[in-house]
């Protein structure tokens, strides 16, 4: 899956990733940003997300553009075992595009 961040130069764009837990056990994920431009992306509410059984949770990902060139990184959500159950590792491609420049 690819998440695209589009905005003005030096603007902060926030995208939300919705995670669902269809199982009867609690899932925990650790969010890690990797790649060439990982420093331009952030997970502002902390790197851990907990999803209750048969519920959903969302995680915000922020991007602040520093350059005109497109930025790229990967968001990895790695499951932490809770009560003997672990979820699948999730990977999202993060891409940015600067559409305009504000003076």
pLDDT score, position 4 = 96
- For the chain, domains (ranges, CATH) are 2-100 (2.60.40.10)
Q: Tell me: the pLDDT tens digits for 23-39?
A: 888 889 999 999 999 99
pLDDT score, position 85 = 66
pLDDT score, position 43 = 96
- pTM of the complete model beyond 0.75: yes
Q: What tokens does 82 get?
A: 């809770």
- Bridge partners (DSSP) of residue 17 are 59
H helix intervals, 13-68: none
**In angstroms, what CA-CA distances link 23 with 4, 19, 31, 41?**
29, 12, 20, 30
Number of residues that make up the chain: 103
Q: Tell me: the pLDDT tens digits for 34-93?
A: 999 999 999 999 999 999 989 999 999 999 999 999 999 999 999 887 766 677 899 999
């Amino acid at each position: 899956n690819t998440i695209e961040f589009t905005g003005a130069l030096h603007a902060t764009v926030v995208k939300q990733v919705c995670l669902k837990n269809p199982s009867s056990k609690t899932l925990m994920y650790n969010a890690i940003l990797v790649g060439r431009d990982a420093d331009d992306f952030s997970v502002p509410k902390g790197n851990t997300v907990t999803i209750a059984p048969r519920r959903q949770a969302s995680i915000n990902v922020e991007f602040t553009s520093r350059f005109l060139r497109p930025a790229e990184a990967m968001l990895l959500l790695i499951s932490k075992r809770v009560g003997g159950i672990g979820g699948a590792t999730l990977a999202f491609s993060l891409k940015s595009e600067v559409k305009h420049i504000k003076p």
